[in-house]
Structure 1
Amino acid sequence: MKRTLSCSGALALLCLSPMASSVANATGQDELAPLVVTGTRTPTDTFRAPLIIDTLDRHDPTLSTAMRLEDALGSQPGLSVAGQGRRNGQTIGMRGFDRNGVLVRLDGIRQDIDTGHLGNVFVDPGLLREVQIARGALSSLYGSNAMGGVISLDTVGADDLLRAGETRGGRLSLRGATASDELGASLSLFGKANTAHGPVDGLLALGRSESGDIRRAGGHTAPDDANLNSLLAKGSWQLADHHRLFAQWQNYREDARQPGNPQSLEPSDGSLRDRTTTSDNLQLGHRWSPAAATQLDSRLSLSRQNIDEPDAQRTQQRLGVQSDGYHRLEHGWLSQTLAFGAEATTATQRPGKQASGFPRADIDTAALYVDDSLTVGRYLDDGGAGRFELGLGARYDHYRAEDAEGRDSDEGRLSPRLRLSWSPSDTLMFYSGYAEAFRAPTLSELYADQRHFAGFCEGPFFCVPDNYWVPNPDLGPETSKTWESGLAWRVGDWGLRASYFDTRADDFIDTEVDIMAGTTRATNVNRAHLWGFDARLQYRPDGLPFDAFVALAEVSGHDRDSGEALGTLTPLEALAGVDYQLADGDLTLGWRGRFARAYDKGDEPQPGYGLHDLQLAWQFTPAVSTSLSLRNVADKTWYRPDGNLGDGRSLLANLSLQW
């Protein structure tokens, strides 16, 4: 295996570089725009949102030092990242649903290529501005796949990097991780200008990293040899007071030598293969915002993912058009917020060479949704009975799929959502709601008809024949019905959010393998009952230079027919942390504790664990900053809910110079 140079010494020099102390102090970042919450599609205080939302921004060392998706999301309670650390083997599970039941969006573009053990989202974390994790059934807003939640990945723009009074600049970031002997760099150029035809802004970012074998928990090694090239180009033009055009292109290319199944620790046959993964996401859009209470975004997008190996090539391309908006109305005693939208997409799968399980097929989808929130009443302190909010929403999705043999699947699905909240005061809110969600079958599940795996002989008198996929164009969508109730409370230095959910899921799509008949077929078989809770407690004392938090989550469940436990559950998990600010807030030292209770997921006992991370964020000067994160300090052996080894001890670092 090729190994890049050892990172430990390089990172130590990078983080303690004496040039950092030679430049003057202060950050001077512009104020952030109002937060558009993924779970509501409107700008709002997350305290008011009737669901559990976690947000990571680029100033958090968890995100700013991340080299891959696992580094950014792997410590979130109740969220599991499958795989052994390889970028193109990482998939996300949440609230009892696997990769196909959790929708991932990159700058609003759906990421959902279905390629067996390969991942379905490809992004360089160094380009991200923010990550939002919205938990719960959200098909009424986002359609298929949003059964366990939605993860929104948003890339950085010029306004995020320009400081007050600046019109142009550049940023050079050096990053690394010792566990994968990885070193990388990214260069961003950005600016804005007032022209005779209106203000414009733009950003161009280029990234490059090289990595070697990945050290997992307890010193185990996942063989890998990879290099990643990334590009982000985006800009906007305010052509009139209420009209803004925007465009962007995000490109990802990874060349790797790794096992055929990148989610395995080591190749079963000892062989490695070359694999090139490319992803392009382009969009051209228009924003109409005639008032602070009204906005409509319309965009045309093209998404293309290609996975190329010596014996197989898989390409998915999606062309879509969509409009999403919100509008707030005041009727005196009644406030109303409307979120609405429509979209249409056409997606194609094209196999090449001897690709298996990835049929040549197309799928067209169309959707229309509306969500109305009505708020009325006065708080108890004002002589009222409290403020009540009623939310009513629904989305209709229709899809039609067809393969090269003319076999088609035509389905429509309505996803309603109802919620009610009561706030006796400005500091306390109780909510409850009902939502239905669905997941359309993938083209591979509907139409795969190639060879699944080769036959073999276990002795002179017992041989297993070649196994072939059997198409099932009558396969129906997975569906779920969820009740969720919770509360939000904040008084003084304390804040608490908690929710309990109960989900009945039907028609789970399972894969049935008949060894002796030599067939593999996707069928609707399972009915699941999932339940659990999420809780977030935060303490931010006024006037003291520290804050602390605890986040908890647990997902339980079983098959409603057999009573057996399901394989996508998560035990009681906790993330605890304390941050302490020094040097007038320019230096923050932090501790994170990751804990999980032992549990039996049905096939084998899963041991519990307790891990400790240390992190640092230091704004040396207005121009120079660094972030450090030391993960799994004791290098403890631990396992994720899917049985894969967790991350091992690793020092991740980021040093940025901005001018």
Structure 2
Amino acid sequence: MKRATSHTGTLALLLVSPLGLAQTPADPPTATPELAPLVVTGTRTPTDTFFAPLIVDVIDRHDPTLGTASRIEDILANQPGLHVTGQGRRNGQTLSLRGFDKNGVLVRLDGVRQDINTGHLGNFFLDPALLREVQIARGALSSLYGSNAMGGVISFETVDAEDLLRPGESRGARLSLRGATASDELGATLSLFGKRDLADGSSLDGLLALGRSESGDIRRAGGQTTPEDASLNSLLAKGGWQLNDSHRLFASWQHYAEDAAQPPNPQQLVLEGELRDRDTTSDNLQLGHRWTPAPATQLDSRLTLSRQQIEEPGAERTLERLGVQSDGYHRLEHGWLSQTLAFGAEASRATQRPGGTASGFPEADIDSVALYLDDTLTVGRHLDQGGIGEFDLGLGARHDSYRAEDSQGRESDRSRLSPRLRLAWHPSSNLMLYTGYAEAFRAPTLSELYADERHFGGFCMGPFVCVPDNFWVPNPDLKPETSKSWESGLAWRFGDWGLRASYFDTRAEDFIDTEVDLFAGTTRAINVSRARLWGYDARLDWSPAGGPVTAFLGLAEVSGHDRDSGEPLGSLTSLEALTGLDYHLAGPDLTLGWRGRFARSFDKRGEDEALPGYGLHDVQLAWQLSPLLSASLKLRNVADKEWHRPDGNLGDGRSLLANVSLQW
């Protein structure tokens, strides 16, 4: 296979001088003492992620995990209970979380759903170099996000101009060079950004980032390689006009274009047959308005267009989604009682168009409409204030309806109500105990409803035993998967320590499975299983104030079985642990870190041979050499230990990932 040995530089042109951001007076620090600035994926409101009533993990661009990443596996591989399937290829990577595969985990990019579904290819495509932050919210969240949010929601947010501008700056540029030895990858991203105040008191800000990378064969654990020859071009253009303190207009375009020569199934390790040329393109555009009439009130409305296209010799698959959505939150004070409302509405039309000999990707459309409201009531006083504790009662629901139709007029029309109830008790400001119930669902994909092309060709298993060509059989009566989940947990800060933990128990109905009848020559999607999934997540961190050392430990385990047969079912996970230690050699400017990834042996779906346990070690360095120059290094799987993910895929091998950034 060709090895990537050179890098083609990226060029950008942007007039940053006319850009600006209004220097408006800051709000008084006491205006919203209850609310933190971060809008949390699992609540859709600004809150402290530590005391959110679910397990939320946040990875920002200052973390070497994100700073050095060239693909999604590099970002999420260290998350306990969250797995990236595939063999390291960008367009073959999908996610599993809390027992649900890619169709039960919702992926959002700047608030826009990413869910193309076709064969063994991935269902989302993005360049990590353009990201500001990743939020991983675990649990049943259909009451806020609708279909697919059964195991959780992964939200990717791209960088803004204000993330890169330093205090007092009005313009700037940043050049980031990166590389990864396991994929022979070299890449660069050039970002130009600026801000400008206008005479009428409004302001403009904008960012343009262009990136390119080239990579070769991918080295997996134990030294095995899998073939690939790929180049990636990416673009991010964002801008905003701050009309006044209350109103902001914004627009963005995120573009991803990968040209790769890889196996027909990008999730394969060993090449079977010839490499296939595959072009993968993803575009996400949005135009929006943000209204902030008060510090604790915000409403975002946006028009979005996303387009994902996969082209191969003789075959093409395109998914376009046009949508409009409005999401907001509002805080109300009633003296002894306060309310935090999250609310929104969405409508979209997704159009799926095949070309050439594309199989399992029928021509069809689906229209979706949704409304949701979530209300959290807070009352009481902490024990040290003479009360019996502060109580939060959360009540929420979302109504989704969808209507799908294929080119032959076959229709599927269904609706679903997803309620959510939760109760939290805060005996003090440092301790929270919570429990809750939620229902979730995922609508069948258009492929599951309407595919009717040839699945695979016939073959002979012996001189007298042959099977015919196999064809997909449509099933427009397919019901959505549904689940009912209970989750209980705690969040506790004591001294320099912090502990978050939760236990969940999920009963799922109408799992969508694929039924293949070799001798009848048919394949179709059917509702077959009733499942029970249960497990836990825990996070422990130690951050002494002013100390040079910080540490953490994360644990997760997911078990499950078919409630009728007792057989293992779902994307299960053995006991996994991630632990880390960071030593700040020169304050925040130089940090040396170690990460350990450990897992117990795993009986994969009841098979005779169990997957062995493993212990992996990573080391990383984050160094701010000067105000202009920074570097991040990460050495993954130092011992190059061979290990497997729960689905049986070979894990990542030893790799040195590096990022050097110069900003001026």
Q: Same fold (TM over 0.5)?
A: yes
- For 1:419-457, what per-residue CA distance to the aligned partner results, in whole angstroms no more than 9, with x for missing partners? 000011011100000000000000000000000000011
Equivalent residue number for residue 359 of structure 2? 356
- For 1:262-302, what per-residue CA distance to the aligned partner results, in whole angstroms no more than 9, with x for missing partners? 0010233x311000000000000000000101000000000
Q: How far, CA to CA, are the matches of 1:190 and 1:432 in structure 2?
A: 44
Matched-pair contact (CA < 8 Å) for 1:67–1:125: yes
Is the aligned partner of 1:136 residue 2:143?
no
Q: How far, CA to CA, are the matches of 1:418 and 1:250 in structure 2?
A: 36
Equivalent residue number for residue 204 of structure 1? 208
- For 1:317-367, what per-residue CA distance to the aligned partner results, in whole angstroms no more than 9, with x for missing partners? 000000000000010000100000000000000000100000000000000
Q: How far, CA to CA, are the matches of 2:575 and 2:323 in structure 1?
A: 39
Alignment partner of 2:617 out of 609, 612, 617: 612
Equivalent residue number for residue 237 of structure 1? 241
Q: How far, CA to CA, are the matches of 1:509 and 1:381 in structure 2?
A: 51
Q: How far, CA to CA, are the matches of 1:649 and 1:34 in structure 2?
A: 38
User: Aligned partner of 1:249: which letter?
Assistant: W
Equivalent residue number for residue 260 of structure 1? 264
Aligned to 1:237, what secondary structure does the other structure show?
Answer: strand
Aligned to 1:179, what secondary structure does the other structure show?
Answer: helix
Equivalent residue number for residue 646 of structure 2? 641
Equivalent residue number for residue 510 of structure 1? 513
Equivalent residue number for residue 624 of structure 1? 629
Q: CA deviation at 1:464?
A: 1.1
Matched-pair contact (CA < 8 Å) for 1:6–1:181: no
Is the aligned partner of 1:650 residue 2:655?
yes
User: Aligned partner of 1:241: which letter?
Assistant: D
User: Aligned partner of 1:433: which letter?
Assistant: G
Q: How far, CA to CA, are the matches of 1:134 and 1:542 in structure 2?
A: 27
Equivalent residue number for residue 194 of structure 2? 191
- For 1:87-139, what per-residue CA distance to the aligned partner results, in whole angstroms no more than 9, with x for missing partners? 00000000000000000000000000001100011000000000000000000
- For 1:389-442, what per-residue CA distance to the aligned partner results, in whole angstroms no more than 9, with x for missing partners? 000000000000000000000000000000000011011100000000000000
Alignment partner of 2:410 out of 404, 407, 410: 407
Q: CA deviation at 1:462?
A: 1.3
Matched-pair contact (CA < 8 Å) for 2:228–2:260: yes
Matched-pair contact (CA < 8 Å) for 1:567–1:642: no
Equivalent residue number for residue 329 of structure 1? 332
1:222-233 to structure 2, matched below 5 A, reads: 222-233=226-237
Aligned to 1:160, what secondary structure does the other structure show?
Answer: helix
Q: How far, CA to CA, are the matches of 1:567 and 1:644 in structure 2?
A: 16
Q: Which runs of 5+ in 2 are unaligned?
A: 8-25, 30-34
Aligned to 2:587, what secondary structure does the other structure show?
Answer: helix
Q: How far, CA to CA, are the matches of 2:217 and 2:588 in structure 1?
A: 37
Q: Which moved more, 1:596-605 or 1:247-256?
A: 596-605
Equivalent residue number for residue 12 of structure 2? none
Alignment partner of 1:69 out of 55, 68, 72: 72
User: Aligned partner of 1:3: which letter?
Assistant: R
Equivalent residue number for residue 4 of structure 1? 4
User: Aligned partner of 1:97: which letter?
Assistant: F
Q: How far, CA to CA, are the matches of 2:211 and 2:536 in structure 1?
A: 39
Q: CA deviation at 1:33?
A: 8.0
Equivalent residue number for residue 45 of structure 1? 48
Matched-pair contact (CA < 8 Å) for 2:560–2:570: no
Q: CA deviation at 1:239?
A: 1.4
Q: CA deviation at 1:46?
A: 1.0
Q: How far, CA to CA, are the matches of 2:464 and 2:514 in structure 1?
A: 28
Q: How far, CA to CA, are the matches of 1:437 and 1:312 in structure 2?
A: 35
Q: How far, CA to CA, are the matches of 2:68 and 2:245 in structure 1?
A: 38
1:138-177 to structure 2, matched below 5 A, reads: 138-177=141-180
Q: How far, CA to CA, are the matches of 2:343 and 2:547 in structure 1?
A: 43
Q: How far, CA to CA, are the matches of 2:376 and 2:429 in structure 1?
A: 18
Equivalent residue number for residue 20 of structure 2? none
1:397-436 to structure 2, matched below 5 A, reads: 397-436=400-439
Q: CA deviation at 1:625?
A: 0.1
- For 1:212-233, what per-residue CA distance to the aligned partner results, in whole angstroms no more than 9, with x for missing partners? 0000000111100000000000
Matched-pair contact (CA < 8 Å) for 1:374–1:389: yes
Q: How far, CA to CA, are the matches of 2:403 and 2:463 in structure 1?
A: 48
Matched-pair contact (CA < 8 Å) for 1:192–1:199: yes
Matched-pair contact (CA < 8 Å) for 1:448–1:469: yes
Q: How far, CA to CA, are the matches of 2:495 and 2:315 in structure 1?
A: 59
User: Aligned partner of 1:219: which letter?
Assistant: G
Matched-pair contact (CA < 8 Å) for 1:6–1:178: no
Aligned to 1:584, what secondary structure does the other structure show?
Answer: strand
Aligned to 2:243, what secondary structure does the other structure show?
Answer: strand
Matched-pair contact (CA < 8 Å) for 1:128–1:156: yes
Q: How far, CA to CA, are the matches of 2:299 and 2:481 in structure 1?
A: 31
Equivalent residue number for residue 20 of structure 1? none
Is the aligned partner of 1:585 residue 2:585?
no
Equivalent residue number for residue 27 of structure 1? none
Equivalent residue number for residue 93 of structure 1? 96
Q: Which moved more, 1:575-584 or 1:203-212?
A: 575-584
User: Aligned partner of 1:498: which letter?
Assistant: A
Matched-pair contact (CA < 8 Å) for 2:99–2:533: yes
User: Aligned partner of 1:319: which letter?
Assistant: L
Equivalent residue number for residue 532 of structure 1? 535
Q: CA deviation at 1:545?
A: 0.8
Q: Which runs of 5+ in 1 are unaligned?
A: 8-29
